[in-house]
Structure 1
């Protein structure tokens, strides 16, 4: 949020002194990149939470329906 305020202040000062038509929002871009790097750093080393032998059944209970229609499409065929 502070980077956005910094960019708005920079835009206000450049708007009166710079007639090139270019606007540089570098603080917001840097802050977004830093936030993404921090989120990745915090989640990249999550260890596996389930160990089962290959072929064993696993039961998974979820709190709501999952919709896989955008990634898994099966159409009925008449044979």
Structure 2
């Protein structure tokens, strides 16, 4: 799952595993321009949600960008 590509700062996205499953792996990425954006926070929210937050650096990001979150879920 990813946020819409825009210039908002910060950008947080949450992905949820289906009911009855649990998180076995998490990840995140930045979509589009990465030069002035960083992933700053990965958070597991029990029992089955993952949140990833991206920020622009001190110089700001002149282009649109998005934060992506991934979760592998298992029974």
TM-score by shorter chain over 0.5: no
More relative contact order, 1 or 2 (CA 8 Å, 6+ apart)? 2
Which has more radius of gyration? 1
TM-score range, shorter chain: under 0.3
TM-score, normalising length from structure 2? 0.25
Structure with the larger strand share = 2
